[in-house]
Amino acid sequence: MRLTHRLSHALLGFAVAAGAATAGAGAAQAADSAPAAAVQQHKPAVKAPAVLGEAAYLVDADTGQVHLSKEADLRRPVASLTKAMTAYTVLKQAKPTDKLTISDEDVRYAAQGGAAVAHLRAGDTLTVEDVLHALMLPSGADAAHALARTYGPGVPAFVAKMNATAAELGMTGTQYVNADGMPYGGGGHSTARDQATLAKAVLDNEALKEITSTRFYTLKATPEHGPYSWKNTNRLLANPGAVGVKTGFTRAAGYTLSFAGERDGNRVIGVILGETDSGRRFQTAQALLDWATARTR
């Protein structure tokens, strides 16, 4: 009986080794007693890319599988990622074809504190869709103020709507204090996990997905407004499959990025907060998308 047992065991070990010739010796020994099908389906573990930002989160938008979580519930300022909530809140009550007129107040507000601007001109009348492009591509604080002022009505009322919307989405670690993410009033806070939840909601809205994924947007002059041309600050959009969502930066928040990629019908959403290098956040985001795709194939 012992001899028969030893022969059977040896034959099984030989079959496993032949079926997994590229596996290491340790892996082959561990698979000695596993079914052949399980051995064939085994994939070598791929190490996650290094994330140097303070917080990060990477999730499959369809299945909810969390690929990576680093300080995902740490509350931090998120800078202009705030504008994704501004856009989402606006389209809960307005149509893209609705119109609004830029005011002197919008222009003056954006001129303070070094905020990014879309160079909107007071007196110009634009569609909501146009102003949303001004908000999300060049990250215009003037566009944020114009939208909040119009659809609050008034900025404080609009910010209250932003926080109500965050609560509806289950963003329990989030508090907004303005519509642009600048450090006025403390700048507010959120988490990487919450911002991924928001990114999913934004991308599930086809109008917002198209806007946040647009690299360049140009408006010719009309009797209602002058000419405009905006470029998206999200460098990741130059890469195939990248969609949305938003970039951000303040001294308190560091460099932030909400991003997503679509491959083979699958969407992965990620957030990086508190990065110290602007370019590295895009490199890290692309590495994360590549890694998530590879590990799910």
Distances (CA, A) of 27 to 10, 16, 20, 32: 16, 10, 9, 9
DSSP 175: B
Q: Sorting pLDDT into bands at 50, 70 and 90, what band is 241?
A: very high
DSSP 76: B
* pLDDT value of position 45: 61
C-alpha span between 62 and 70 (Å, rounded): 21
Q: Which two tokens stand for residue 235?
A: 């460098």
pLDDT tens-place string over residues 203-232 = 999 999 999 999 999 999 999 999 999 999
pLDDT (mean) for 121-128:
98
Closest by Cα among 188, 199, 175 to 247? 199
Cβ within 8 Å of residue 297, ≥6 positions away: none
DSSP 92: T
pLDDT tens-place string over residues 8-22 = 443 333 333 334 333
The DSSP code sequence of 178-203 is SSS--SGGG--BB-HHHHHHHHHHHH
Catalytically active residues are 80, 83, 139
**Which pTM does this prediction carry?**
0.85
* pLDDT value of position 44: 52
Per-residue pLDDT at 29 exceeds 50: no
pLDDT tens-place string over residues 65-90 = 999 999 999 999 999 999 999 999 99
